[in-house]
Structure 1
């Protein structure tokens, strides 16, 4: 895909005020994100908080592969007060991670994740844990920047 970068680097700790749901299959994520985003905007409006800034989506497949947990939220500064009506989740910093940054939104968000997985496999790595999707407003040239992040480990690292 054009106009993107993919690199291995540590992932920062993130504090996210969010709403969440669950889906049975990856094909259901788009509809869930749309519903959750509407809910998030409504709750931010009631709390008097502007949604402008960095919006975050978090995807986390359960270890038994029964469901995928989906969250939509906004980034909070470390130590910031909670936002009324929203839960807060903390994603820990990860020493090893993969980051893919786009200067436009891909048509299907699953495509870049497949690119990340292929990139990792070529290097003997695999992703695990929560996938992070951060939307930055007004990037260079007034374009939206989307950053995908996931923690990585050596292939088979969960079995060691």
Structure 2
């Protein structure tokens, strides 16, 4: 993972058609994300809307992990999903994960180590933006990992 490009950048405001669920522990996340995306996509398609870019937000606290998944969307309300607005963030560290979700924890670990090494502090919910995520086997997936930061 040492060849990962890690950049500091602002994150834009994003409006999603989404669903959320809270799980007790991080290992439970994987079993929830895919089915939530499927439910949101089904609701959008049933309404005649095309899903935009898939994005997941993970907000960890003492109660567990709040997972919000959805697709960028600028249309009217849709039955069975909620409109979620992810705020713009002044500063975040980002990197790109290539390949299957099975190894994404390694990329997150490298990103968090880089944040610490640069004297910053992870602050707030992190995001995964699925830039390419069509194949079933996930070998060609491209996911941007985004972690808001505080500090210099």
TM-score computed with the length of structure 2 as normaliser: 0.84
Q: How does 1:3-152 map to 2 (within 5 A)?
A: 4-51=4-51, 53-62=52-61, 65-77=62-74, 80-137=75-132, 143-152=140-149
Q: Which runs of 5+ in 1 are unaligned?
A: 156-160
RMSD of equivalent CA atoms:
2.3
Tell me the CA shift for residue 89 of structure 1.
1.2
- Higher strand proportion, which one? 2
Q: Which runs of 5+ in 2 are unaligned?
A: 134-139
TM-score computed with the length of structure 1 as normaliser: 0.80
Tell me the CA shift for residue 68 of structure 1.
0.8
Q: How many residues end up aligned between the 2 structures? A: 147
Distance 1:41 1:11 in 2: 24
